[in-house]
Chain A
């Protein structure tokens, strides 16, 4: 996703003449520098916000102790509180480092362990969702009755906040005896199937009339048209929807962990952090989730580049 945006960014800027600054940094530098600048700005803003939000606590503490504090002391204390309103970036990074590399993976406090607990149902749900989405899309493209009846409901199903249903699905499945990976995976599958359906219906319909006509002059069967024309043509759409679907599947799993009293998984870390006011723990779990999402999307992006290049979509 990021790669495309970078590409689109340069193209859009170039079309209108991006000014002296843009031209001076043409090439890789021109792409990396603005991103770096924005990230840097975010970090700086974050530090400022951390100072601003945490200063009150320091002042209160000082007042209670009956002494005044200077600016530098406030600055130092806002950056190293145990339960800050907003932890400073380096505190979060330190906690991430400590929770991933600083302890055994099997430890109950290891973020890698929790990330794996979240990742496994995400992958299963992603698989279920993608397969369901593909089958539905193939049905919708080839059958008019299905197109007319299923498509409106697939859209309506997404206006239902499935995340609100998640707690109930889990409680009910638990009471029937289905536990472990499957309930979480089903919820992430539900969030994941929709982007795949929409993207693949678009993709399978993307071949031009002229190509479909050509297949007809070859007397190709529907089966042949599907395998030789529709499916290959839909590949760019397929990968784009996979990326959206993977991100959605991860969100589904995290939310599925929230309401069920789960004690393992990133969602459970978020929840327990919010109960006990452990803000640094929340932020670390949040970053771990972000890293997972970025890794999933990144892996799909790599596969996409490789496949599309081999198929001749990208030169």
Chain B
């Protein structure tokens, strides 16, 4: 048995075993336990990695086409400083700044729009329409306006997250029930009091929906904007240049960092959501 066919057989064998284990676990009496809920998807993910490694080694795929996970891991550990520099440039400066500005602007706009039914009727359809457009296409224009550095990336992100956030927030501000609004009226609550005590809390699930959608959009916007021009650092810059040099292990290392950052960002927002909207049916457990 050659080493190649051994790797292939091992990967397929691992896959079948994990598949069998997952089916058993999901059908078993413990399938509602927390640990099982974590183990099943984890096993699935590990299986994907093992299959990947096995296929690359077994079929001797050249690393300029698809590097094995182990090669990528080695590359990550060797180039931590570069990865960190790119991460700061793209994620912290570009994506995060734009995310905060865009979401805050959309939130304030939503509250202004909320005061005027006329604006609501006009802006919402337009906002819905714009949210479906390929806004990423404005990236070259914004790079031209704001220069190559992170400011232009933040601007792209701001525009990308603005409309989904606006539509969701306006939708959320309508979520309070008429009977609750009437109760506030009988308390003689002012508009501001109704807003802070009733309507904003009621809108939180929608607002967080917008915030969560925006996390992925922010990262995508910041990376793609770098294709149109950037200083010599940043994840998008690194990916496009390393692809040109066929150094695919470095590209995958950047992708791994991006995926990790994106997942953690999403997870952090989801965690805050769980803390703040524990009362909502979708967050109830058990």
A270 to B25, CA, bound (A): 50
Is B23's CB under 8 angstroms from A145's CB?
A: yes
Interface code B80-123, partner A: CB below 8 Å = 1, 0 otherwise?
00000000000000000000000000000000000001111111
Q: Does residue B17 face the partner (Cβ distance < 8 Å to A)? A: no
Q: Does residue B138 face the partner (Cβ distance < 8 Å to A)? A: yes
Q: Which of A5, A172, A254, A271 contacts B128 (CB 8 A)?
A: A5
Q: Does residue A30 face the partner (Cβ distance < 8 Å to B)? A: yes
Is A259's CB under 8 angstroms from B132's CB?
A: no
Main secondary structure of the interface of A (DSSP, over half): helix
A34 to B127, CA, bound (A): 13
Is B126's CB under 8 angstroms from A35's CB?
A: yes
Residues of A within 8 A of B138 (CB): 286
Enumerate A151-194 residues with CB–CB distance to B below 8 Å. Answer: 151-153, 156, 158-165, 167-168, 171-172, 175-176
Is B227's CB under 8 angstroms from A16's CB?
A: no
Known: A12-B120, A145-B27, A167-B239. A160 touches B143 (CB 8 A): no
Known: A35-B121, A37-B118, A163-B220. A145 touches B26 (CB 8 A): yes
Interface size on A, residues (CB 8 A): 77
Residues of A within 8 A of B136 (CB): 163, 251, 254-255
Q: Does residue B187 face the partner (Cβ distance < 8 Å to A)? A: no
Residues of B within 8 A of A266 (CB): 137
| Closest chain A residue to B265, Cβ basis | A159
A1 to B262, CA, bound (A): 28
Residues of A within 8 A of B26 (CB): 144-145, 147-149
A15 to B236, CA, bound (A): 47
Interface size on B, residues (CB 8 A): 73
Is A37's CB under 8 angstroms from B117's CB?
A: no
Known: A164-B236, A251-B134. A34 touches B263 (CB 8 A): no
A residues sitting closer than 8 Å to B (CB atoms) are: 1-2, 4-6, 8-10, 12-13, 15-16, 18-19, 21-22, 30-31, 33-39, 42, 53, 85, 144-145, 147-153, 156, 158-165, 167-168, 171-172, 175-176, 243-244, 247, 250-251, 254-255, 258-259, 266, 270-271, 273-274, 277, 279, 282-283, 285-286, 289-290, 293-294, 297
Task: Show 22 A/B contacts (Cβ-Cβ < 8 Å), sorted by A.
Answer: A12-B120, A12-B174, A31-B121, A34-B120, A35-B121, A37-B118, A144-B26, A145-B40, A148-B36, A149-B26, A153-B44, A159-B263, A160-B262, A160-B263, A161-B216, A163-B224, A243-B132, A247-B132, A259-B240, A266-B137, A289-B134, A293-B134
